[in-house]
A = this chain, B = another copy of it.
Amino acid sequence: MSKVRVVIENITPRVDCGRFPIKRTTGETVIVEADVFTDGHDVVAAMMMYRHDTAAEWHKTPMKPIGNDRFRAQLTVQQLGSYLYSVCGWVDHLESWRRGLRKKYEAGQDLTLDLKTGALLAEAMAERAHGLDAQRLREWAAAITDSRRDIEERVALSQTDSIRELEYRYPDPETVLNWDSPLEVEADRERARYSTWYEMFPRSAASEPGKHGTFADVEKLLPYVASMGFDVLYLPPIHPIGMTERKGPNNNPTASKSDPGSPWAIGGAAGGHKAIHPELGTLDDFRHLISKAGERGIEIAMDIAFQSTPDHPYVREHPEWFLKRPDGSIQYAENPPKKYQDIYPFHFESDAGEALSKELRGVIEYWISQGVRIFRVDNPHTKPFPFWEGLIREIRRLRPDVIFLAEAFTRPKVMYRLAKLGFTQSYNYFPWRNSKRELIEYFTELSQPPVSDFFRPNLWPNTPDILPEYLQFGGRSGFMIRLVLAATLGASYGIYGPPFELMEARPREPGGEEYLNSEKYEIRYWNRDDPTSLREFIARVNRIRRENAPLQSDRGLKFHSVDNDNLLAYSKTREEDADSVLVVANVDPHHAQSGWLQLDLESLGLPVNGPFQVHDLLSGARFLWQGPRNYVSLDPGHSPAHIFRIRRRVRSEKDFDYFL
| Cα distance A104–B383 in the bound complex, in angstroms | 23
| Cα distance A113–B339 in the bound complex, in angstroms | 14
What are the residues of chain B within 8 A of A327 when measuring CB–CB? 113, 116
- Interface contact A69-B9, CB-CB below 8 Å: no
Nearest chain B CB to A496 CB, angstrom units: 25
- Interface contact B353-A3, CB-CB below 8 Å: yes
Which of B41, B387, B412 is close to A1, meaning CB atoms less than 8 Å apart?
B387
| Cα distance A100–B3 in the bound complex, in angstroms | 61
A511 within 8 A of B: no
Known contacts A7-B417, A41-B335, A100-B336; 17 additional CB pairs below 8 A are: A1-B387, A2-B386, A3-B349, A9-B16, A17-B17, A35-B413, A37-B417, A38-B384, A39-B381, A40-B381, A68-B411, A68-B413, A103-B336, A113-B325, A113-B326, A116-B327, A117-B325
A4 within 8 A of B: yes
Nearest chain B CB to A338 CB, angstrom units: 9
What are the residues of chain B within 8 A of A51 when measuring CB–CB? none
Mask, A1-39, CB within 8 Å of B = 1, is 111110101100000111000000000000000010111
Q: Which residues of A contact B (CB under 8 A)?
A: 1-5, 7, 9-10, 16-18, 35, 37-41, 68-69, 91, 99-101, 103-104, 106-107, 109, 113, 116-117, 120, 175, 325-327, 334-337, 348-350, 353-354, 357, 381-387, 390, 411-414, 417
- Interface contact B39-A337, CB-CB below 8 Å: no
- Interface contact A1-B414, CB-CB below 8 Å: no
Nearest chain B CB to A575 CB, angstrom units: 27
What are the residues of chain B within 8 A of A350 when measuring CB–CB? 3
With A326-B113, A326-B117, A353-B3 as given contacts, are A334 and B100 in contact (CB-CB < 8 Å)? yes
Which of B103, B349, B390 is close to A175, meaning CB atoms less than 8 Å apart?
B349
User: How many protomers of this protein does the assembly include?
Assistant: 2
- Interface contact A116-B357, CB-CB below 8 Å: no
Nearest chain B CB to A378 CB, angstrom units: 13
* Nearest B-chain residue to A96, judged by Cβ: B336
- Interface contact B337-A385, CB-CB below 8 Å: no
| Cα distance A116–B387 in the bound complex, in angstroms | 29
Nearest chain B CB to A339 CB, angstrom units: 8
- Interface contact B357-A1, CB-CB below 8 Å: yes
- Interface contact B413-A69, CB-CB below 8 Å: yes
Nearest chain B CB to A603 CB, angstrom units: 23
| Cα distance A10–B9 in the bound complex, in angstroms | 18
